[in-house]
């Protein structure tokens, strides 16, 4: 059984649903895992956009939650971009290898 540590910066309820989805999905292939990860980043972006819109409309109750949502989305996007950069760098290194 694989156990994962909870991230203190992400709401526990969201993490629990993510873990349940992983258990229900089972072990998939790499493309499925990558698609799920990108969908997770997209969900964070949408959530941050909605929170910012609510703040702009004066409907947000807690500014801190808005900022946390925005920071989560920003960090997730930065991580995604860094992973993409590493994958491209690895591909280029393999392409330069002589056979």
pLDDT digits (tens, 9 = 90+) for 51-99: 999 999 999 888 999 999 999 999 999 999 999 999 999 999 999 998 8
Helix axes 30-57, 12-25, angle to 10 degrees: 150
User: Is residue 88 in a domain?
Assistant: yes
- Domains contained in the chain, number: 1
User: Is residue 14 in a domain?
Assistant: no
Mean pLDDT of the chain: 83
User: Is residue 23 in a domain?
Assistant: no
Q: Which domain holds residue 56?
A: 29-96
């Amino acid at each position: 059984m694989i156990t994962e540590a909870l991230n203190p910066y992400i709401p526990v309820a969201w993490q629990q649903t993510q873990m349940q989805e992983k258990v229900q999905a089972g072990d998939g292939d790499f493309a499925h895992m990558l698609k799920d990860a990108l969908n997770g980043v997209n969900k964070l972006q949408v959530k941050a956009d909605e929170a910012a819109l609510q703040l702009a409309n004066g409907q947000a109750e807690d500014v801190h939650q808005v900022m946390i949502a925005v920071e989560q989305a920003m960090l997730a996007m930065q991580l995604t971009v860094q992973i993409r950069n590493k994958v491209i760098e690895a591909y280029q290194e393999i392409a330069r290898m002589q056979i």
